[in-house]
């Protein structure tokens, strides 16, 4: 959930501070933005509550709600509630909640050939339309991989896969599988062919992930690795809405350590500018993108899951910090400070 409603009821100390300095009202905005959330709009209310603020926030904002409430508790009582826009809520009410998949036939030879034949329709045409420049570096780093691998990347946009696939050799991408939210992509009864579960499995190489599914969520990707397939995962779990990488989840590390496979990080730049979180396809603005394949990570025996996750995060973070300081061009491995 990316949108929240913040209700505030000021204490006497809060009203006193507002009377002395009306700019005090903006304090809540400053507090919210420290957690990399964006204030969409704010209103003074004539009722039981005094102020209502609408927030667009990163996924990890949930973990900071209590801290934010504590920070502002001396001046106001507050309530923070997740929200969903009405049209989407209406669509959810009209559709079946029953999901379908995974489809283990997606690893068969005929499914792999189908994905290869559908590659340009599924990815290439969109890349040509929206990417004015599409730089790929380090693709040769896949050459030494003999068995399956887990590919990871930063996640900033719904266009990420269009950029990512060009950086992956065909021998790997035709046997590459993505986890996708079951309650979004694998719902039964969808009318549009592209949104039907079998299409997601066959053409996109996707498999369903059930939110809150615990360790069972990894059962199918473990089976895929056992069958020699490759995986692509976004360790942040969702698109990043702030400037910094979100905390990495441990799923990638668990899979890599248990199955003894390498992790290949790919850092992508430029996608958030083209289609940021919350923007529709029609809002996309063409621009340059890049996908940089970093060195494969092999974990020595005895590596713990937290240590593996930190290693993966540090590999991505090193590039990301350069980008934050110097811009997207700094993601290129040959970039130097001018």
Could you tell me which residue, 287 or 239, shows the higher pLDDT? 287
* % of the chain surpassing 90 pLDDT: 42
In a domain, 338, yes or no: no
Last residue of a domain, one of 23, 57, 89: 89
CATH of the domain at 83: 3.30.70.260
Residue-level pLDDT at 324: 87
Handedness of CA 265, 225, 248, 195 (dihedral sign): positive
Residue 11 has pLDDT above 60, yes or no: yes
- Return the half-sphere exposure (C-beta side, CA atoms, 13 A cut-off) of residue 176: 23
- Whether residues 309 and 219 share a domain: the answer is yes
- Whether residues 128 and 172 share a domain: the answer is yes
Residue 62 has pLDDT above 90, yes or no: no
Residue 300 has pLDDT above 80, yes or no: yes
Question: What is the number of domains present in the chain?
Answer: 2
In a domain, 336, yes or no: no
Last residue of a domain, one of 55, 74, 89: 89
133 phi and psi angles, rounded to 5 deg:
-150, 135
- Whether residues 175 and 276 share a domain: the answer is yes
Could you tell me which residue, 53 or 64, shows the higher pLDDT? 53
The token pair that represents 181 in the structure block: 């939210």
Residue-level pLDDT at 60: 53
Last residue of a domain, one of 89, 113, 130: 89
CA–CA separation, 167 and 28 (whole Å): 43
CA–CA separation, 218 and 209 (whole Å): 9
Contact 316/247 with Cβ under 8 angstroms? no
In a domain, 203, yes or no: yes
CA–CA separation, 308 and 297 (whole Å): 9
- Whether residues 280 and 305 share a domain: the answer is yes
Which segment of 34-43, 46-55, 61-70, 178-187 scores lowest on mean pLDDT? 61-70
In a domain, 337, yes or no: no
SS3 state of residue 259 = helix
- Whether residues 128 and 191 share a domain: the answer is yes
- Whether residues 222 and 151 share a domain: the answer is yes
Q: Which domain holds residue 31?
A: 3-89
Residue 193 has pLDDT above 50, yes or no: yes
CATH of the domain at 232: 3.40.1130.10
Tens of pLDDT along 212-260? 656 678 999 999 999 999 999 998 876 666 677 888 889 999 999 999 9
Tens of pLDDT along 15-56? 788 788 877 777 777 777 776 677 888 898 888 898 898 887
Residue-level pLDDT at 14: 77
Residue-level pLDDT at 1: 43
Residue 273 has pLDDT above 50, yes or no: yes
Contact 6/28 with Cβ under 8 angstroms? yes
- On whether the pTM is more than 0.75, the answer is no
* pLDDT interval class at 128 (50, 70, 90): very high
- Whether residues 170 and 191 share a domain: the answer is yes
- Whether residues 137 and 211 share a domain: the answer is yes
Unique residue bearing structure tokens 């990570």 = 297
- Whether residues 106 and 71 share a domain: the answer is no
Which segment of 54-68, 204-218, 262-276 scores lowest on mean pLDDT? 54-68
- Whether residues 134 and 79 share a domain: the answer is no
């Amino acid at each position: 959930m990316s949108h929240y409603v913040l209700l505030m009821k000021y204490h006497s100390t809060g009203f006193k501070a507002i009377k002395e300095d009306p700019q005090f009202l903006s304090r809540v905005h400053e507090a919210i933005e420290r957690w990399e959330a964006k204030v969409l709009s704010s209103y003074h209310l004539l009722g039981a509550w005094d102020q209502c603020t609408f927030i667009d926030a990163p996924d990890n904002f949930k973990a900071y709600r209590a801290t934010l409430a504590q920070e502002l508790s001396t001046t106001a009582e507050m309530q923070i509630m997740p929200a969903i826009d009405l049209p989407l809520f209406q669509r959810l009410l009209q559709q079946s909640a029953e999901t379908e998949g995974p489809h283990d036939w997606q690893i068969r030879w005929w499914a792999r050939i189908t994905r290869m034949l559908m590659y340009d329709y599924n990815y290439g045409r969109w890349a040509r339309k929206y990417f004015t420049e599409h730089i790929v570096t380090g693709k040769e780093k896949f050459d030494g991989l003999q068995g399956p691998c887990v590919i990871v990347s930063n996640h900033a946009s719904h266009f990420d896969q269009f950029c990512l696939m060009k950086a992956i050799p065909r021998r790997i991408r035709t046997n590459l599988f993505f986890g996708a939210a079951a309650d979004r992509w694998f719902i039964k009864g969808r009318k549009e062919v592209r949104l039907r579960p079998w299409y997601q499995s066959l053409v996109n190489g996707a498999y369903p992930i059930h939110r809150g599914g615990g360790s069972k969520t990894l059962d199918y990707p473990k089976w895929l690795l056992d069958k020699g397939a490759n995986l692509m995962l976004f360790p942040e779990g969702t698109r990043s809405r702030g400037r910094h990488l979100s905390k990495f989840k441990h799923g990638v590390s668990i899979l890599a350590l248990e199955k003894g496979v390498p992790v290949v990080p790919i850092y992508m730049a430029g996608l958030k500018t083209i289609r940021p979180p919350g923007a529709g396809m029609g809002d996309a603005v063409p621009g340059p993108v890049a996908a940089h394949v970093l060195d494969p990570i092999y974990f020595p025996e005895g590596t713990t899951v937290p240590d593996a996750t930190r290693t993966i995060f540090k590999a991505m973070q090193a590039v990301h910090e350069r980008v934050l300081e110097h811009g997207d061009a700094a993601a290129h491995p040959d970039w130097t400070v001018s």
